[in-house]
Structure 1
Amino acid sequence: MTSGECRAGDTAWLTKCAADNVPLSALQLFWEESSNGDPSIQSKWDYVTTLSHISGEPKEAPVDEVLNTTALFSEASWTTNYGVLTIFTEFQFVTAKYGIAILMTGFATPIVLTVLGHLPFMTGASDKLRHYLVYPSVIGTYHVRPLPFNLGNSPTIGHAIFILFFLTITVVLTGVSIHSTQPHSFFTKYQEIMNLTMLRTGINAFALPLVILFAGRNNALLWLTNWSHSTYTLLHRWIARIFGLFTTVHSILALMTYKDIGAYPVEEKLPYWIWGSVATVTVSIMLVLSGLYLRRAQYEIFIISHRWIYAAAAVWMFDRLMRVGRILKNGMRRARVTAVGTGHVRVDVNGIRWSGEPGRHCYAYFPTLKPLRPWENHPFSVMPTYMLQLSTAGLTFFIRKSAGLTRYLETNPSLPILLDGPYPNNATSSIMECDRVLLIGGGIGITALLPWKQAHRNVKLAWSVKAADSALIDAIHPALDTLPAVDKDVRIGNRLDVRALLESEEAKGWGKVGVVVCGPGGLCDDARVAVVSMRGRGVWVLEVDAYSW
């Protein structure tokens, strides 16, 4: 292949690029960017100077001969090239529109479904559809609990429909409007179709803004819809897999096309090919490193492996700026850390004046625990401190010590802490509309449930604690004492029978019952299955406050 340096200094080539009936400004721009195939190499003459070196009437360019004189394209060659380039320009325009359509599908669908759910005639239908779409899992009773061998988290049927819909739209818009234009200046029909499909998959792979948007804590869709952060996190993972699939297909088609036309030995040395290969390999590595088995084992490695791609994303920057803004607003605080038994700690942060609304969580940073990794943070459900003791302002959360940062938490009267929050878990309006709210918790899941006690006039609490964690009951008892004995069921060392709890509430004749569950994955999934099994037996609304990382 002729190099840019060769074209830039070759008189025959430069004078051959001259043209008539085109504005001089357009010709000069083409000259600077494309005349020698490499815009970084300056040709020996500008366009006007080149014209002055054309003498006499150029003849038609010879076929299959070395070009060493000023020559004209043949009419047939010009017509073919013009047709090919015109249609290719239209193809690029259509492809760009399809790429935007894919992004808008992912962004607008949650908004449209939220608006539909608020229409007057949809109220009854929404209550019924929840039992068929929102609550049931695609695979058995797994949702919050990971699948065997940590293969991941099963989506609900509603999640699966969205994922399948998005994948279908993406595949359809990848395959339509791809047409062969023969005769072609460069490709056979087979090569042309492969090349166009390669280009289309490359553009449509860039669902990247959605991948980043859905992962953000400050995702604008959290404000515009009633979908939860955990839902968007799950969809983030699936759209990332689709993005990875199309990236891989794009790269394979590019390799096949350029090998078929014999250009691969030249193309593989060009910067775009090298960096495209790097990107493909990186995406493949990220898909592997994002598996649940690694997220659970080495969460920090998982986070670091994502950072290369965030830097280029405006959505990522907005999310991070919002996080910093929330942290600065809350300021550097001092937390009082108190041991609760051997496996838990209570963390009290004075002076925080957040509302006592239920369904809120925050991300806590303990920068002095691991000074070399001060960015580490974890989400925790929060409750107002005044629910446990006399206090004018402050918040409290309970933490189970496990692997990672939390294992370093020990009794400390003044531990530096940064807070990013508060953030909503799920929309609370549907629960607040219920006649009765059943709170089901396990272990430190009680933290997320207690604020509901103040928010709703008619609640019942069912809470189970392992025998080894019974110290939690003593730590929580001031808040428990405000509930009538008939409306609380606290068990030590015994599992809750969720189905029996629901049937008990059904027997009392409530018209609409809300079920809020927070605790281990098994308990959350049991509650989901139990609520689904109650369809047709009154109206049930489920909210699961859980983090499925």
Structure 2
Amino acid sequence: MLKWTDPNASGTTCNSSAEVASIYLSSKLYCQDKELSTGLKLWKEYCQGISTPLLDLSGISVNATPAYLSSLSTVDPYRNKSISLTSPVLLTRSYYDISFRSNSAFYQALPRSIRIGWSVMGYWGSILVIGMLHRLWTYTRSAHVGSDDAEHGWHSRASPNKRNLASLRHYFNTHLVVPAAVRSYHQRRLWGCSIPNRLELLVVVGFWVMCIILNFGFYDIFTPNTRYDFNATSLSPKLSALTCSLRYQTTAHQVWKYVAQRTSVFAVACLPWVWLFAGRNNIFIWLTGWSFGTFNVFHRHLSRLTVLFAIVHSIAHTVVETVYSSSYQEDIKTLWLKFGIIAVIMMSFLGGLSFPYIRAKFYEAFLIGHITFAFILIIALFKHTAVLGTRFYSYLWPVVAIWSFDRSLRLVRLLYCNLRVSTNRGQRIQTSTAIATYSRDTGVIRLDVTVRGALTPSPGKYFYLYQFSTWRGWENHPFTVGTYTSIPKSLQTPSYSTAVGVSGLSPTLEVPVNNIGSIEQNSISSSSPLGEVKTSTKNTTGLVFWIRPYDGWTRRLQEQCLESSSSKQISSNTYQLRLSLALEGPYGHCLPLHNFDTVVMVIGGTGISTAIPYIHDRISRASLSSSSHYRKNSPISKIMLVWTARNRALIQEICDGQLADALLRGYFEASFYCTESNTIENSTGNIDEEHKQEKMTIHWGRPDVEDIIFSAGKEAQETNTRLAIMACGPAEMADAARRGVHSALKNGCREIWYFEEAYGW
């Protein structure tokens, strides 16, 4: 830095006559007219900002003749640091070029980082566009398969282009889509961590690599740099004691400064995607057809990167403020820095609460902390970034909009599913009612919910259940609809509601087993073959959920049933509770199982609630077999159910009820497995004898899922048919099904699709 001797100046570049004249004359000599006018404007704004008006330049401008400029001495500040100047001088051309580049790089750093930050938008936007195009292609192909290939076979008339496309699809399914990323772990946890499949991992790793490269590269770092050169006295005491060169000091300073800036941009740029992928009402779930679990994988990795960026930003900024400057003590008193510290702390808390162990063991703490800390985080970020104007609001306001949209739609779903305005004088406002029935024999809670209004969910739909009457009324959990019934308005009496509430359309209504199938058929008659949701003001809807008590709310629901039951119910090992529940939904998507020749359902425990609606949908479609249009759009010829349950009683109950009609159908095959040996040994003979005509056989132990799927794939390959595998059950079973599908793909079975119905944390 040059030293100026001016007794009337305050040590700034605004009121020292010699320094002001030198700056102006050097700019006049080296700058274009437009550059000069822009620079003067910024110079005046700077002086006004420090409350020191800029000296009048009119007199200096008049004297800036070529002759006067040629008479001035030229000075290079790098070589003349010890000279005290009392009169105007000119900067050397070389120093001007260095200074120009230094200031240009300094002021362009943030806009450049913001432009690079748009790569986050570009990356995820491209991924979503690919997903939407794939969904459109799949939908178009499914319609084509349903209309033509169902009658004539996919490969029999396939053109060379179609065969090439099928080969490419088979390659991707075999090596990317189906197999797990690490050995066979997907639903099972590896060292406490969930493992995505290979395609999800490829997307996630690609994003990590892109972010790391863009955050720690592409900086305009050079020496000498007038924005970062300084004397040793301006350093912190520790650094000034080090024997490091000025070049190293300048380079390190630039690196810390630019890394702090770039990581802050990326941290904020990721936030809209973090919120979008976490929401239940994410519109891209509908547009891409991807599961909530897939978006949850993206959400978790985006969140981790965001926390990492925020921590690196805070460390780098602290180094700049403490090591290369002495301004930290002053800045810590400002609101923008205080709120920045709060934001980093909130992000760290959010990341810490998201560890799998904490999330699984202390879910309520995770949920409440997530909402609370996220709310504080957004407020802190608005305050923290306000020092830079509104340039970061384009990232923050979308977060508010996404959150508001998701919560508003959740509220709309709650009101729609649970409240009805009636024209009856007796009860204007009608709400949903529910009856929970816990059986010690099955170990399962059957929850029958009567929804006001005929809301008919298609297969694959699930609802979030609330119990607002408890002190944890905010708690909600997802459960798949097992069956749904349309109750005519004429039958909506208290006695009928009670009967249906206890066991749906089950033997409680004293209906013979051989007639249950026809009643179940009537109960789903309002379900369209295409599975859309219909509503009517004349009927109410009965929804049935099967819930196995574990910890948390399901365990408390079981305890409520046990505490409120009468002696008559206790004697029958059945405990019943009438309660108030609210539903939010429906969520989920209907799988196109009707487009396949054979469907193998690998089910575990209460996962049967996922399979039953698809089986009923098949029965409903079969009733339309007289329609030629139906024959073209339903090639399915066989359903094979492989169901494993803990005890015989649950299998008995479902087979006597919801599966009774299906067991009589020629296209339906079922294999039942029970993991509790005592329940089989005591009653195998009775069950086999009773259901011999219904093809019901119960095996002890667990099925060889991989072998079953591999054999089905081999048969599909030999018969040139399309095969769908649907798995819903424990993590071990789902991973075994995935391995079986992968083995079939590697064996050459091209027309095999894998669908996994699981809720991802």
Report if TM-score (shorter chain) is over 0.5. yes
1:337 aligns with 2:436: yes
Q: What is the count of residue pairs matched by the alignment?
A: 520
- The residue number in structure 2 matching 1:291 is 355
1:95 aligns with 2:113: yes
In 1, the alpha carbon distance for the partners of 2:458 and 2:171 equals: 27
1:415 aligns with 2:622: no
1:353 aligns with 2:533: no
Measured against aligned partners, the alpha-carbon deviations of 1:139-174 in whole angstroms (never above 9, x if no partner) come to: 2222112224xx211111111111111112212222
1:87-486 alignment, distance < 5 Å: 87-116=105-134, 118=137, 122-148=165-191, 151-187=192-228, 188-206=250-268, 207-263=270-326, 264-307=328-371, 308-310=373-375, 312=378, 313-314=399-400, 315-331=402-418, 332-341=431-440, 343-351=443-451, 353-368=454-469, 370-371=470-471, 373-386=472-485, 389=505, 393-409=541-557, 410-411=560-561, 414-425=578-589, 428-429=591-592, 431-456=593-618, 457=636, 458-467=638-647, 470-471=649-650, 473-475=652-654, 477-484=656-663
CA drift at 1:510: 5.8
Amino acid at match of 1:106: W
Amino acid at match of 2:348: S
CA drift at 1:386: 3.0
In 2, the alpha carbon distance for the partners of 1:396 and 1:524 equals: 24
- The residue number in structure 2 matching 1:6 is none
Measured against aligned partners, the alpha-carbon deviations of 1:84-120 in whole angstroms (never above 9, x if no partner) come to: 3332333322211211121231233132144147287
**Partner SS for 2:117:** helix
Moved more, 314-323 or 388-397: 388-397
1:488 aligns with 2:674: no
In 2, the alpha carbon distance for the partners of 1:277 and 1:297 equals: 29
Work out whether residues 98 and 224 of structure 2, in 8 Å CA contact, stay in contact via their aligned partners in 1: yes
* TM-score, normalised relative to structure 1: 0.83
Amino acid at match of 1:35: G
CA drift at 1:473: 3.6
Work out whether residues 440 and 516 of structure 1, in 8 Å CA contact, stay in contact via their aligned partners in 2: yes
**Partner SS for 2:581:** strand
User: Cα 1:137–1:310, aligned 2, differ >3 Å: closer, same or farther?
Assistant: farther
Work out whether residues 483 and 612 of structure 2, in 8 Å CA contact, stay in contact via their aligned partners in 1: no
Q: Over aligned residue pairs, what C-alpha RMSD do you find?
A: 3.7
Moved more, 374-383 or 252-261: 252-261
In 2, the alpha carbon distance for the partners of 1:178 and 1:359 equals: 50
User: Cα 1:134–1:424, aligned 2, differ >3 Å: closer, same or farther?
Assistant: same
* TM-score, normalised relative to structure 2: 0.61
Question: Considering only CA atoms, is the larger Rg found in Structure 1 or Structure 2?
Answer: 2
Work out whether residues 180 and 189 of structure 1, in 8 Å CA contact, stay in contact via their aligned partners in 2: yes
In 2, the alpha carbon distance for the partners of 1:310 and 1:318 equals: 15
Measured against aligned partners, the alpha-carbon deviations of 1:467-520 in whole angstroms (never above 9, x if no partner) come to: 2x7346415631111123661112222212212322442336362210111111
In 2, the alpha carbon distance for the partners of 1:483 and 1:294 equals: 43
Moved more, 158-167 or 97-106: 97-106
In 1, the alpha carbon distance for the partners of 2:651 and 2:356 equals: 29
1:62-101 alignment, distance < 5 Å: 83-101=101-119
CA drift at 1:447: 0.4
Work out whether residues 356 and 451 of structure 1, in 8 Å CA contact, stay in contact via their aligned partners in 2: no
1:548 aligns with 2:760: yes
CA drift at 1:349: 1.5
In 1, the alpha carbon distance for the partners of 2:167 and 2:12 equals: 77
CA drift at 1:181: 4.6
In 1, the alpha carbon distance for the partners of 2:55 and 2:311 equals: 49
Moved more, 319-328 or 245-254: 245-254
CA drift at 1:205: 2.3
CA drift at 1:82: 5.0
Moved more, 412-421 or 328-337: 412-421
Measured against aligned partners, the alpha-carbon deviations of 1:505-548 in whole angstroms (never above 9, x if no partner) come to: 23363622101111111111111111111113422211111113
Work out whether residues 44 and 54 of structure 2, in 8 Å CA contact, stay in contact via their aligned partners in 1: no
Work out whether residues 335 and 349 of structure 1, in 8 Å CA contact, stay in contact via their aligned partners in 2: yes
Work out whether residues 435 and 510 of structure 1, in 8 Å CA contact, stay in contact via their aligned partners in 2: no
Segments of 5+ residues of structure 2 without an aligned counterpart are 1-9, 25-35, 62-72, 142-161, 229-249, 379-398, 419-430, 487-503, 506-518, 524-538, 562-575, 619-635, 676-700
Measured against aligned partners, the alpha-carbon deviations of 1:240-298 in whole angstroms (never above 9, x if no partner) come to: 11222222222222233333313344444443333333322332232221011111101
**Partner SS for 2:219:** coil
In 2, the alpha carbon distance for the partners of 1:245 and 1:335 equals: 46
User: Cα 1:434–1:245, aligned 2, differ >3 Å: closer, same or farther?
Assistant: same
**Partner SS for 1:190:** helix
Work out whether residues 436 and 510 of structure 1, in 8 Å CA contact, stay in contact via their aligned partners in 2: no
CA drift at 1:30: 4.0
**Partner SS for 1:300:** helix
Work out whether residues 292 and 759 of structure 2, in 8 Å CA contact, stay in contact via their aligned partners in 1: no
Amino acid at match of 1:380: F
**Partner SS for 2:454:** coil
Measured against aligned partners, the alpha-carbon deviations of 1:104-138 in whole angstroms (never above 9, x if no partner) come to: 31233132144147287545533442232122112
CA drift at 1:12: 7.0
In 1, the alpha carbon distance for the partners of 2:324 and 2:44 equals: 30
Moved more, 119-128 or 310-319: 119-128
- The residue number in structure 1 matching 2:569 is none
Work out whether residues 335 and 417 of structure 1, in 8 Å CA contact, stay in contact via their aligned partners in 2: yes
| Identical counterparts, % of pairs | 25
**Partner SS for 1:329:** helix
User: Cα 1:466–1:79, aligned 2, differ >3 Å: closer, same or farther?
Assistant: same
User: Cα 1:270–1:310, aligned 2, differ >3 Å: closer, same or farther?
Assistant: closer
